[in-house]
Amino acid sequence: MTEPTEPADFVPDAANSRAFRDALGAFATGVTVVTAPGAQGPLGITANSFASVSLDPPLVLWSPARASRRFDDLVAAPHFAVHVLAAAQRDLAAHFSRHAQGFDLPGVAFSAQGVPVLPGCLAVFECAREAVHQGGDHAIVVGRVLAVRHRKGAPLVFHGGHFGGFHD
């Protein structure tokens, strides 16, 4: 058996953007859909840039890309919901990566703040926008969690540019 070789170091610049992306893709993440009310109606986007920030107060963050056509509406929304997708929701992730306003889906409800809430997710965090910070080619949107739904189940995972599952 041969020893794995150490990867070569590189500077993450424009010439190495693909290599930098590939290196970031080595980190497996969960998959979310973030929904919010928008100027032209409700919108959603698939995102894997979600993290907890604080338990007290309850804060989470996510990071939309500035290049997204949905960017302005998403960072301006006073309320939003982050939906943690289950392993069986790969089609929902693909749907919202292509269709920002595709809410003609069974079981979609709306919160008191007008935020679309998707059914069947492992967790849903309903949030009020707490802050928006600069983050290079992304923004960092911090939300104060107002309500949470949670159920047990296997998550949808993103790794190396592909959706997958988590197995014990």
Q: Which residues contact 147 (CB under 8 A, 6 or more apart)?
A: 111, 125, 126
The string of DSSP letters for 123-148 reads EEEEEEEEEEEEETTEEEEEEEEEEE
Domains contained in the chain, CATH given? 31-159 (2.30.110.10)
Quote the pLDDT of residue 89. 96
The confidence score (pLDDT) of residue 133 equals 98
pTM exceeding the 0.85 threshold for the entire prediction: yes
pLDDT of residue 91: 93
User: Mind listing the pLDDT tens digit of every residue in the chain (168 residues)?
Assistant: 666 666 667 667 677 677 777 776 777 889 999 999 998 899 999 999 999 999 999 999 999 999 999 999 999 999 999 999 999 999 999 999 988 787 888 899 999 999 999 999 999 999 999 999 999 999 999 999 999 999 999 999 998 888 888 765
pLDDT score, position 13: 67
**Cis check: omega of the bond before 106, within 30 degrees of 0:** no
Instruction: For residue range 98-111, list pLDDT tens digits in order.
Output: 887 878 888 999 99
Which pLDDT does position 138 carry in this prediction? 96
The owner of tokens 């919202």 is: 96
Longest dimension (CA), the chain: 59
- The pLDDT assigned to 78 comes to 98
What pLDDT, on a 0 to 100 scale, did the predictor assign at position 23? 77
